[in-house]
Structure 1
């Protein structure tokens, strides 16, 4: 689910588990700053200033690559911000599902949740939503 100001990712297997991208802002043409919130039963974590640099590989192309490989892959694929305050590890599960483990960290703490999405369409839609969010296109 996406609005003009956020992207909400809900786990296919457990609706109480999710990730929200929100509070996007930019100081200049070179970067985008945003907050990421993780939630699960007994967990609410937030990192306030995740930074994406326009000249680096951002999250959207990583997710687009996962969507393109909807038939699956072996092992784990991962992505992280330059500051490692947000990392994503992806695995493929039989039956056509992708597990995305989102890890947020900062100031000596870290928290992770895993969301399961259908390979292909759901991951492609997420990639498009993230791309639009990071570009501020709503």
Structure 2
């Protein structure tokens, strides 16, 4: 699943390589990209008991008329953070920040911002993320 910025199609984020060891969590890779940037975190974890990314995106889509300030969500391990801002004209900026191994020596971080339409594009993204995270192993 790839999210592309409507302002610059060379900027985006890909969710891929989903797998699960048990019924409690889902692991997946996240790959942000932009001109001059490629990165990958192999094991972002979504726990079933945590508030996952899909409800956060669904709430943003439901507030298509906008909001003040920044809203954010992060994984329990804090290796993926998504921050959202609303700008005039009905657009949502989603900043996808990866910071794996925050306590390890040699840690790194990377982020990209994708801009999407506040209504239908956000609702479609939320549905795509929900489907990606809920897929059964083949």
Question: What band does the TM-score fall into relative to the shorter chain?
Answer: over 0.9
TM-score (ref. length: structure 1): 0.94
Q: How far is the alpha carbon of 1:137 from its aligned partner?
A: 5.7
- For residues 56-71 of structure 1, the aligned pairs below 5 Å read 56-71=50-65
1:24 to 3, 18, 26: 18
Structure 2 counterpart of 1:133 = 132
Secondary structure at the aligned position of 1:21 is classed as strand
Q: Which residue of 2 aligns with 1:98?
A: 92
Deviation readout 1:60-102 (Å, 9 max, x if unpaired): 0000000000000000000000011100000000000000000
Q: Is it true that 1:78 corresponds to 2:84 in the alignment?
A: no
- What is residue 117 of structure 1 aligned with on the other side? 116
Q: Which residue of 2 aligns with 1:34?
A: 28
SS of 2:109's partner is strand
Match of 1:8 in 2: 2
Give the equivalent residue in structure 2 for 1:3. none
Please list every run of 5 or more consecutive structure 1 residues that lacks an aligned counterpart in the other structure.
1-6
TM (normalized to structure 2)?
A: 0.94
Q: How many residues align?
A: 132
Aligned equivalents of 1:8 and 1:89: distance in 2?
17
Unaligned runs of 5+ in 2: 102-106
Instruction: For residue 120 of structure 1, report the CA deviation from its aligned partner.
Output: 1.0
Match of 1:49 among 43, 56, 78: 43
- Would you identify which runs of 4 or more consecutive aligned residues in structure 1 move more than 6 Å? none
Please report how far the alpha carbon of residue 106 of structure 1 lies from its aligned counterpart in structure 2 after TM superposition.
Answer: 1.6
| Superposed CA RMSD | 1.1
